[in-house]
Amino acid sequence: MTTTTENNILPLVTDEQKQAEETWRKSIPAQVFLNYFFAINYHIQENDDATGGLQNLPFFRAHEAELTEVDIQAIGKLLQACWSTEYALRATAELGDEEYLRNALHWTFPQAYHTILSGLQAFLYTAGVRSNNPSLIRREVGRLVVRNAYPRPVSFYAAGAYGDFSIHRLPLAGYKPGLHIAGKEIEAQAQIGQFLRTTRKMKAQLTRQQVQANPNTAIRSQKTGKVLDKWTASHWQQITWRLGYTTIFDLLGRLRISQTSREIERYVEAEIDFKLFHQSLLNIVSYLNGIHESYIAKAMGLERYQQLVRELPKHLQNNFVVERLHTRIEPLLTGQEPQQPMGIAA
């Protein structure tokens, strides 16, 4: 008699393994997003120097502005919005265990974006651009990036028409990015390059939709006069001017995810390193805010900027704002050695 043992054979893939595989698959978009921001932070850390490189930029050395007291007050309000939002972002990091930071993405994503936006608006104010229009702000900062107003770690950008994008100031951006956290500069640049291309592609597709939805701007068939559904390379080239340049600020714009959308839930439900994600965002925020603060201090004069900082609300005193003033801005503008940090991440 033959005895069957089929019922006792263990499956090659268990239910737990299947679940783990499914979780990993669903986590890929969030992991890629984390990779992108970690790569930006990695690139900044690898290419930064003690003062962010601003002292080497002719654009920075030439930056000046005639500001009235009314102007300074307006800049001060923008800076307070910038700093208060960064304060809230940092408070989340101090509170957070992994689970808290996971659910905090609902507000930390937009906080990271808005703190940088407010600081950028304050900087643009000193450059004569005084607007709340997002398209205008995006266009002007794109021009500034291309004109080398920003130090090397964040001066990269993408240009060109759909299907023919070019990446600038990232010499290693053409390499194929992996699905892992960057451990080398080549991996970081490859991931940033991909982030620039995918972001510019999204912008191009959205611009096409807007152009074709408007009867006055839609590209039409020369034969029938009907709005074209299919585009050639020449059609894409016709809207390239509308795209401007794609810079780090467009990448940060990807953080503007509605807390009611399905998109944010994909990140909250993923299995990724949320502490690392949060720390990467904080470092990028601090770096860019420090650049804008340096420009503002130079434009209004260091003494007036120091006074503005002294007059801040209580919750903004003796923290990261003062830290960046002592360790980055004052040494940059006076040429003196930076003061010893107070133990606050700058």
Residue range(s) defining the domain that contains residue 132 = 31-330
- Asked, for residue 121, whether it belongs to a domain, the answer is yes
Q: Which helix or strand (DSSP H or E) is residue 28 part of?
A: helix 15-47
Looking at residue 107, its pLDDT comes to 87
* Burial (0-12, 13-18, 19+ Cβ within 10 Å), 227: middle
Mean pLDDT for the chain overall: 88
- Asked, for residue 26, whether it belongs to a domain, the answer is no
Residue 171: partners with Cβ closer than 8 Å, 6 or more residues away = 189
Report yes or no: 72 and 304 within 8 Å, Cβ to Cβ: yes
Looking at residue 29, its pLDDT comes to 82
> What's the domain count of the chain?
1
Task: With 0.85 as the threshold, say if the pTM is over it.
Answer: yes
- Asked, for residue 148, whether it belongs to a domain, the answer is yes
Looking at residue 97, its pLDDT comes to 79
Looking at residue 18, its pLDDT comes to 55
- Asked, for residue 280, whether it belongs to a domain, the answer is yes
pLDDT tens-digit readout, 147-157: 999 999 999 99
**Residue 220: helix, strand or coil by DSSP?**
strand
pLDDT tens-digit readout, 161-208: 999 999 999 999 999 998 899 999 999 999 999 999 999 999 999 999
| Residue from 344, 233, 232, 237 nearest 282 by CA | 344
**Residue located via tokens 């991996």:** 187
Looking at residue 228, its pLDDT comes to 85
State the pLDDT confidence band at 24, using cuts at 50, 70 and 90. very low
Q: Average pLDDT, stretch 17-45?
A: 78
Q: Where are the alpha helices (DSSP H) in 214-273?
A: 233-238, 240-243, 248-253, 262-268
- Asked, for residue 134, whether it belongs to a domain, the answer is yes
- Asked, for residue 199, whether it belongs to a domain, the answer is yes
* Burial (0-12, 13-18, 19+ Cβ within 10 Å), 277: buried
- Asked, for residue 240, whether it belongs to a domain, the answer is yes
Range of lowest pLDDT (79-83, 124-128, 253-257, 323-327): 253-257
Q: In whole angstroms, how far apart are CA 142 and each of 108, 165, 201, 285, 337?
A: 24, 16, 16, 18, 32
- Asked, for residue 346, whether it belongs to a domain, the answer is no
Partners of 168 in beta bridges: 157
CA 235 from centre of chain? 30
State the pLDDT confidence band at 25, using cuts at 50, 70 and 90. low
Query: What is the rounded distance in angstroms from the CA atom of residue 73 to the CA atom of residue 79?
Result: 10
